[in-house]
Chain A
Amino acid sequence: MRWLAVHLPLLPLEAFCATLPLEQAAHPVALLRDHVVAQVNTAAAEHGLRPGMKRATALALAADLLLADSHARREAAALQGVVHAALAFTPAVTVHDAQTVLLEVEPSLRLFGGADALHHKLCAALQPLGHRVSTAAAPTARGAALLAQWQPPRMDLLKGPHTTQLDALQALLLQAPVWLLGPGREHWDALQGMGLRTLADLHALPRSGLARRFGGCLLEELDQALGLQPDPRTWAQLPERFDARMELFARVDRTELILHGAQVLLARLVAWAQARQARVAAFTLRMLHERARDVPEPFTDLRVELAEPSLDTAHLQMLLRERLGRLALLAPTMDLLLHCRHLVAAPAPNGELFPTRASESEGLTRLLERLRARLGEDQVQRVVAVADHRPERASRSLPVGAPVPEGLCDAPLQASTLQRDLPLLRPTWLLAEPLPLAAREWQPLMQGRPLDLLSGPERIETGWWDDAPVARDYYIAQDGSGALVWIYRHRLPVAADQPVWFLQGLFA
């Protein structure tokens, strides 16, 4: 058995900092417990704040200090993110306490290529969650947890004989201080008074006396850490759906301000999806509004669907950022909920070094996704060819993702490049709406000059089965400068003042 312990010493502070908007993330932040500073971030440490100071001292040292309180649900959610990231490496993951996660990695070592490689990949997977991590490895669960929390100086806790051999672990742990054990913290004063500072001191004392004086828990924990007693754990379960909630620090009414919190939720989503060994196909970000008289809806939903499922945190964050940029909030929000249940278990994308056709098309899909997220779903279009004689229906540009029209020509159109000497039948530019032309006697005019009809008429009469019958005579005409245009003459009867000649295309 080989246990890897991941300890997050600043988890409560980091969970709080995730709720701050981006511009406040660089402020000094301090976590208070019992009105005394318990944890500080780097910006606060630079101002001179240290754990143990009183609240007033802290505020005097840093005027723009943000004070945080410990919040159990927020910290549990942050820990769940770490648990999910760990579940991608082994199914045997358990929560040791509010800030430590244990992994049993012996069966996974071969898959990940050794203990060093596994540790490296685990740290890379935890990095997007934004926590400071200290790790240790040992043959017993509690021993690994204690080592991760203790962090003895000048020691690499991931290498060394203590990671695999029980007696080496025992020799190391016996030097550890007594406050690492839970009951040791409770009875710290008494133990200190008796001169018991390290676990070796405790281990040397008679067991019955220790049990009578401090309770059986102390001995039980000590034995489990040293490997003298079994230590059964309940394993963490991976949920089928992902639901994460975050309460922001301040009410926000602009979508940019929720970006930071939403990005932390996205990092947790990707960790969960990686543990499920699938890729994210769609997710929904729900922003809750407070109840007020002029608020029509209690929440605003933003659904992001991916054309190609992906696990790339940066790509998901970019899509969310672009979509949030286009969204206008109905009312200020303070609660974010991220929900995902659409996962796709498909083979991993192409990771080759040289660009291939598959990787180029994937890159193009991502580019189109980004353009659609920024400009709107309808602004990115594809040209489709339909088998219809009416020119405005024969070739249309439809938004990518719109339903295809009937009669779509899916087969590749024959490119008659060998027959370049034959004339082109259709103009390259088609106007979206035919432009009416003025006419003098029988000759159509464009910009005041008469058009010379050169080729035609080509009669198109069709569409009687739809509501759009057309009966037209098409001509190729030349304007004053020699450019060729495609015009038609309406053959259905029209009123006297209605235009008869229309411009429909340009031969470019």
Chain B
Amino acid sequence: MGRLAQAPQGSVASGYDELDAQLPGGVWPARALTELLLPRAGVGELRLLAPALAAVQAQGRDLLWLDPPAEPCAWALAELGVNVKQMVLVRSRQVLKTKAPPRPAAGAVNPAADVLWALEHALKSGHLGAALAWLPAHPGVRLPADALRRLQLAAQAHDGPVFLFRSDAERTRPSPAPLRLLLNCAGPDLLQVHLLKRRGPPLQQPLWLDLPPVLSDAALERAWQLQGDSASSEATSVEA
């Protein structure tokens, strides 16, 4: 079936003005991988992506989530504008039960095999709006050398953003993704974003983005107070 005109627009803006100003083209890149490096789950990554995912769904297209670290909450996502009816979850069969995996035996199955296969074929099918994939983050586990390159090639057939979530230990290793962000929690409802790699001049300073609030104003003040107290107590303990 030929596609003469690319009617749906693949690129979506992130919804955060400061971030859009720094992204090439002001949008999340379509037809390419975007790597998001996190220290652990729960730093604010879903609230960061929610406006873009809602925009993709508004175009009538679906999302694919591969191996998320926990269950997405339908009610919370609905508040953020993401409709769970236009979303599919895929769980891989290789679930690492223990926190620290044993040394992989020779010829052991690649723990990300299912995720990589499913993502590659989903991107090549061309029927997705956006894909979010969580790759295993255990330190002893390495992906096959050409896995990311194959995904980058497959992403070129996909008219939309592709988000790969990886551990922030990968920040020092090279990757073929044209956009790499390092996310950190800078406080309640505040996200710190380092643009490690992007098309164009590198950005030295990190960005601080205000996420949709979880806390009421009073609770937020108290949270900042507690953060300030703990920071000063750490400083005093260092001095002492």
- Taking Cβ atoms with an 8 Å cutoff, the residues of B that contact A are 1-5, 7-8, 39, 41-47, 54, 60-62, 68-85, 87-93, 114, 117-118, 121-122, 125-128, 184-190, 212-216, 219, 222-223, 226-227, 230
Q: Quick one: which of A364, A382, A385, A422 contacts B89, CB cutoff 8 A?
A: A382
Cα of A507 to Cα of B214 in the assembled complex, Å: 8
Cα of A370 to Cα of B121 in the assembled complex, Å: 9
- Select from chain B the residue with minimum beta-carbon distance to A416: B79
Q: A482-B188, A508-B47 are in contact. Are A360 and B60 (CB under 8 A)?
A: yes
Cα of A485 to Cα of B185 in the assembled complex, Å: 12
Interface string of A389-400 (1 = CB under 8 A from B): 001001111001
Does residue A327 face the partner (Cβ distance < 8 Å to B)? Answer: no
- Select from chain B the residue with minimum beta-carbon distance to A363: B127
Smallest distance from the beta carbon of A409 to chain B beta carbons, Å? 8
- Select from chain A the residue with minimum beta-carbon distance to B77: A428
Contact between A482 and B227 (Cβ–Cβ < 8 Å)?
A: yes
Interface SS of chain A: mixed
Contact between B8 and A383 (Cβ–Cβ < 8 Å)?
A: no
Cα of A55 to Cα of B232 in the assembled complex, Å: 96
List of A residues within 8 angstroms of B216 by Cβ? 423, 455
Q: Quick one: which of B60, B80, B186, B188 contacts A484, CB cutoff 8 A?
A: B188
List of B residues within 8 angstroms of A382 by Cβ? 84-85, 87-89
Task: List 7 additional contacts besides A376-B93, A395-B71, A428-B72; criterion CB under 8 Å.
Answer: A385-B84, A415-B79, A423-B216, A428-B80, A431-B70, A478-B188, A483-B44
Interface string of A422-453 (1 = CB under 8 A from B): 11111111111000000000000000000010
Does residue A353 face the partner (Cβ distance < 8 Å to B)? Answer: yes
Contact between A367 and B78 (Cβ–Cβ < 8 Å)?
A: no
Contact between A367 and B121 (Cβ–Cβ < 8 Å)?
A: yes
Cα of A357 to Cα of B219 in the assembled complex, Å: 44
Contact between B230 and A424 (Cβ–Cβ < 8 Å)?
A: no
Interface string of A472-506 (1 = CB under 8 A from B): 00001010111111000000000000000000011
Q: Quick one: which of A353, A396, A420, A505 contacts B1, CB cutoff 8 A?
A: A353
- Taking Cβ atoms with an 8 Å cutoff, the residues of A that contact B are 351-355, 357, 359-361, 363-364, 366-368, 370-371, 374-376, 378-385, 391, 394-397, 400, 412-417, 420-432, 452, 454-455, 476, 478, 480-485, 505-508
Contact between A354 and B3 (Cβ–Cβ < 8 Å)?
A: yes
Cα of A356 to Cα of B87 in the assembled complex, Å: 18
Cα of A412 to Cα of B87 in the assembled complex, Å: 13
List of A residues within 8 angstroms of B42 by Cβ? 429, 483-485, 506-508
- Please name 13 pairs of A and B residues whose Cβ atoms are closer than 8 Å in the assembled complex, sorted by A: A383-B72, A383-B87, A391-B73, A395-B71, A395-B73, A413-B78, A416-B79, A420-B212, A421-B213, A423-B214, A431-B70, A455-B216, A476-B214
Contact between A417 and B93 (Cβ–Cβ < 8 Å)?
A: no
Give the number of residue pairs across the A-B interface with Cβ within 8 Å: 215
Q: A368-B88, A380-B90 are in contact. Are A429 and B41 (CB under 8 A)?
A: yes
List of B residues within 8 angstroms of A424 by Cβ? 76, 79-80, 212-214
Smallest distance from the beta carbon of B58 to chain A beta carbons, Å? 10
Cα of A454 to Cα of B42 in the assembled complex, Å: 17
Q: Quick one: which of A357, A375, A508 contacts B92, CB cutoff 8 A?
A: A375
Cα of A421 to Cα of B189 in the assembled complex, Å: 12
Contact between A413 and B3 (Cβ–Cβ < 8 Å)?
A: no
- Select from chain B the residue with minimum beta-carbon distance to A395: B74
List of A residues within 8 angstroms of B71 by Cβ? 383, 395-397, 429-432
Smallest distance from the beta carbon of A476 to chain B beta carbons, Å? 6
Contact between B81 and A505 (Cβ–Cβ < 8 Å)?
A: no
List of A residues within 8 angstroms of B188 by Cβ? 454, 478, 482, 484
Contact between B41 and A506 (Cβ–Cβ < 8 Å)?
A: yes
Q: A360-B60, A367-B121 are in contact. Are A395 and B72 (CB under 8 A)?
A: yes
Smallest distance from the beta carbon of B216 to chain A beta carbons, Å? 5
Contact between A508 and B87 (Cβ–Cβ < 8 Å)?
A: no
Q: A395-B71, A483-B185 are in contact. Are A417 and B54 (CB under 8 A)?
A: yes
Q: Quick one: which of A379, A417, A476, A506 contacts B219, CB cutoff 8 A?
A: A476
